Structure 1
């Protein structure tokens, strides 16, 4: 780690490379700083000829009005603990390039290095504790850049998925607590991708990956998919992500399909205004299903093939910038329906249905949340926030979130750990995790990027 930091600091004080020829750089000259899930800086800060350094910090404080006694947040990959100041993510890394060779590595420390890997069942297949081996890496890939059209990149390793529109890094997102569409779809892939830029405004990116946000493979086949991103001008961006794989552990006949589609549109742009400077919205819709191995996609008609098991979701956000882009207000929300609960973020503690690391034949929780074929799950959320951005590197955010589910799911006053909230307290025979159908919370966050 010390060596990596030394390299980045050295790179930041080296003589800056001359401005690149943008005639063959995809999306060059376009203003993409307003887009949800995108870097809002107009240029990197730590940039040299061969290295671009990356430093990101994400610190949050959240209060749930349910006030669970164990301070545990249920159903979120952004948050982990209530009523405590938490370092959600401390990321350090860089992008490296030399004569076509390219690489990117970003480390991750903080609560997200536990919250996200815990949802990967593939690590229970075989040996070597993959969840620990990869836990402190958010991105790590190497590849080669070919000077064809507007560029072709071939990369292998771990890279971001961007299914669900939002970025894994909160400093790039309009909202802090992502809607169900983003929070219940994958944040990363482990495998090979090819980025093809046939024109300045178009990217085509096929994937060959281990599986759906999995460090390893669940079954014999790898997952396959692709992304298409089209930005005809500064004010519009269209994205589609599509995936097919077998991601049910020990059920190779069950196949999963997922399609994720987004439109981002900036409908007002007056950067020199003393009042409102920009207004934009993002709209995302997802549809997917699992079929085979005892479940039957969208159909409930044939009992011999099992119940329906599918995913439908959508989310919409609108953002308004003002005071010379130093402030922004976002409002939005979304809905999700997921019979079979195969993409639901499972509750933690004694309500967790995940395998116990000490004994994978048993669940972590004594009273696990069920995720059987036919189990219903429908939810909706709404949120609003205010950002103060004194410069392009720092954001102060305060956000209010309401979430509701059709079944008890969120942590209630009794928490999900024990009667006292401590793991050291024995569980009485009549105690159960306190799950409730809704929650309201306030989030305060400081987001830094250099």
Structure 2
């Protein structure tokens, strides 16, 4: 999500190219000299393999995992995750390849997306059901695809249009950049991508201001007449030990209910409080803290308070905290953390799949996909909390081997239980027994083994 080394490389090359025409000799590179390799949700590589290429910087990433749920669902389906899709199987979660193009200020980035995430992530987007053409199929194999122009002003201004990554929830969409594999509720229930226009403004070396005009909240199309509006502000300290950021959003994201407005504020603090990179013992320590607040109002719901006149409360409150310790010159790392979420109205909850899905059926958009859909009506309560810990082995900057243990809970039946969410046999080809129901339970414990590659 935050390919800062690519931004730096782009800014450096375009500034140099423009300098030949304007006789400017001073390069101003945003975040120059600031170490970002320790940050949660950021590229950890210190010397990217392709950084010296002139017009194009390639990028290749793979995410392969095996996860085991102790609930042992008979259909091997994972419920409530954008990172995982299948239990008890080796899964190609993501394959990305592409890169960055730049020539005399012109810039573009294209990253493809294959694997289970190309199905899992777009599935909660209602916008493809509005109008003709299958937007989900048209875009699902792209994680990023935008083009724009770099202006040599201050420390740089980038104007981009297309499909680009969201910063909400701190975690990167690309798993090699994250401290943990299964994101806490805060990250997993907020957007991974936007489709629209952004402007990245770097008025100083330490500061980025980025406004957006987008189709909607993680949507390929637009839900109503009004687009979504938002911005990101990121600040990093000169000593590389502090990063603070805020993301704020306003839009109409309830399909067919234009009077319902959504506001969301996402805020993170990252602090590196110990750094001895050459130590064979503890080489560095850092933590990240994220807090989100949001609400929907109008169209039958009333923000933070129940109202007889305007409808029930519909809001989002969440937080997550992670602490990470690196060892032996940053070749090993241990992370522990977790978070909490409450979302009355369930408007940001990742809905269960299969026969428990309340989403439209692509074959018949007038009906829900599942025979026994998970309720997501105004006033429905949802609270979740999770804990996780993992151990990473990073023999070099391009590969991470991760073992992670995750425990998640909810106040209502939500996760896949032993009976799964597909059928009594676990197969979609089996006619449903009249007495069968999706087996949703209030908790799950799982372990994850992952190989995360980046070049």
What TM-score does the superposition give when structure 2 sets the normalisation length? 0.94
Of the candidates 87, 103, 106, which is equivalent to residue 101 of structure 1? 106
Looking at structure 2, the residues matched to 439 and 22 of structure 1 have their Cα atoms a distance apart, in angstroms, of: 56
Instruction: Say which of 229, 232, 235 aligns to 1:227.
Output: 232
Q: Equivalents in 1 of 2:335, 2:26: separation in Å?
A: 33
User: How much has 1:86 moved relative to structure 2?
Assistant: 0.4
Q: Secondary structure at the match of 1:324?
A: coil
- Over 3 Å counting, the alpha-carbon distance change for 1:50 and 1:407 in structure 2 is same
Structure 1 unaligned residues grouped into runs of 5+ = 1-16
CA contact (8 A) 1:195 1:206 kept: yes
Question: Contact between 2:284 and 2:327, CA under 8 Å: does it hold in 1?
Answer: yes
Match of residue 254 from structure 2:
248
Mapped pair 1:204 → 2:197:
no
- Structure-2 separation of matches of 1:276 and 1:232: 23
User: Which residue number corresponds to residue 90 of structure 1?
Assistant: 95
Corresponding position: 1:43 with 2:50: no
1:334-413 to 2 correspondences below 5 Å: 334-413=339-418
Cα distance between partner residues in 2 of 1:22 and 1:439: 56
What's the CA shift for 1:318? 0.2
Structure 2 residue aligned with 1:24: 28
Q: Secondary structure at the match of 1:345?
A: coil
SS across alignment from 2:62: strand
Whether 2:285 is the aligned partner of 1:285: answer no
Deviations 1:264-295 (A, max 9, x none): 00000011212000000000000000000000
Which residue is 1:436 aligned to?
Answer: 441
Residues in 1 aligned to 2:145 and 2:445: alpha-carbon distance in whole angstroms: 36
Runs (4 or more) in structure 1 with deviation over 2 Å come to 17-23
1:23 Cα offset (Å): 4.0
- Once the two structures are TM-superposed, the CA of residue 19 in structure 1 deviates from its matched residue by 12
**CA–CA distance in structure 2, aligned partners of residues 388 and 70 of structure 1:** 31
- Answering whether residue 242 of structure 2 is matched by residue 236 of structure 1, we say yes
Tell me, yes or no, if the aligned pair for 2:94 and 2:115 is still in contact at 8 Å.
yes
- Matches of 1:375 and 1:164 in 2, distance apart? 23
Among candidates 135, 138, 147, match of residue 140 of structure 2: 135
Q: 1:426 to 1:390 in 2, by over 3 A?
A: same
CA distance in 2, matches of 1:323, 1:188: 35
Give the 3-state SS of the residue equivalent to 1:109 in structure 2: coil
SS in 1 for 2:186: helix
Tell me which residue corresponds to 1:322: 327
Contact 1:22–1:29, Cα closer than 8 Å, also in 2 = no
Residues 19 and 130 from structure 1, CA distance in 2 versus in 1: closer, same or farther, beyond 3 angstroms?
closer
Q: Is the 8 A contact 2:234 2:244 kept in 1?
A: yes
Any idea what SS the aligned residue of 1:115 has?
helix
Structure 2 stretches of 5 or more lacking a match?
Answer: 1-12, 17-24
Aligned-pair CA distance for 1:119 = 1.0
The Cα shift of 1:43 comes to: 2.7
CA distance in 1, matches of 2:60, 2:295: 38
For residue 265 of structure 2, what is the aligned residue in structure 1? 259
Q: Which of 296, 301, 305 is equivalent to 1:295? A: 301
The question of whether the paired residues in 2 share the 8 Å contact of 1:33 and 1:40 is answered with yes
> Does 2:121 correspond to 1:111?
no
8 Å CA contact 2:66, 2:448 repeated in 1: yes
The alpha-carbon deviation at position 65 of structure 1 amounts to: 0.1
> CA separation in 1, counterparts of 2:338 and 2:66?
21
Q: Would you say the 8 A contact 1:44–1:52 is kept in 2?
A: no
3-state DSSP of counterpart to 1:128: coil
Report the Cα distance in structure 1 between the residues aligned to 2:367 and 2:280, rounded to whole angstroms: 60
> What's the C-alpha RMSD, in Å, of the aligned pairs?
1.2
Q: Judge which range, 309-318 or 42-51, deviates more.
A: 42-51
Number of matched pairs: 433
